[in-house]
Amino acid sequence: MQRLLGEIRKADQQYGLIQPGDGIAVGVSGGKDSLALLALLAAYRRFCPAPFSLQAVCLKIGDPFDWKRIKAFCEERDVPFHLAEENLLPVLEKEKSPCSLCARLRRGVLLQKAEELGCNKLALGHHRDDVMETYLMSTVFEGRFYAMQPVRQMEKGKICVIRPLIDVKEGSIAALSSRLQFPVVKNPCPVDGRTKRQEIKQTLRALESRFPGALDHFQRALEKERK
């Protein structure tokens, strides 16, 4: 926990994620990444030099979905919980590769809810591996270079998206989730485990297995592009 809090502080200082008085809505899906983000930001409030407030926004996109366990997790950390219900599954089930559309729709709902709550920032749980996967997916499937940024001011609305876990390895988050027994909720995605993202994830794992340290070099290259 302490090491990952150090990673949060480093990202905050390096990318200017949090300013005094920020109201931050945390998108909590029930997966290990978003639960880790919520737990870490709740702990970071205690020593962050810039005072900020937190709200948890959970998007329910279909049934069954045990959001009450997520609510209890948030309340244990003194973070108000808000449930946004939007049945996206009928739309997503029509798509062969729904990942991109799903991400846009979910982000749109979260941004709207964050603005309704009076927040000026939305924190998402994307980590280092997500950044690499997205970059490779955009290159392979779309013919363009696109990388998630630690801070992104949305063109419409007043909300700024931040990604405090952007340089944290997925394995570190998984270890934290397992050790602290986070109440991870099953992903309701109709194609969970059978997506292009999963294929790219496996490709990156194979690359790291063939060339140990390759992903660290990949990360450093992406960091240089942000400067």
Least confident segment among 71-75, 135-139, 193-197: 193-197
pLDDT averaged over the chain? Answer: 89
**Residue 195 confidence (pLDDT):** 79
Residues 6+ apart with CB under 8 A from 94: none
What band does 93 get if pLDDT is binned at 50, 70 and 90?
A: low
2-226 domain in CATH 3.40.50.620?
yes
Predicted confidence (pLDDT) per residue in 45-71, tens digit: 999 999 999 999 998 877 777 889 999
* Sequence spans of domains, the chain: 2-226
Give yes or no for residue 178 having a pLDDT over 90. Answer: yes
Give yes or no for residue 142 having a pLDDT over 80. Answer: yes
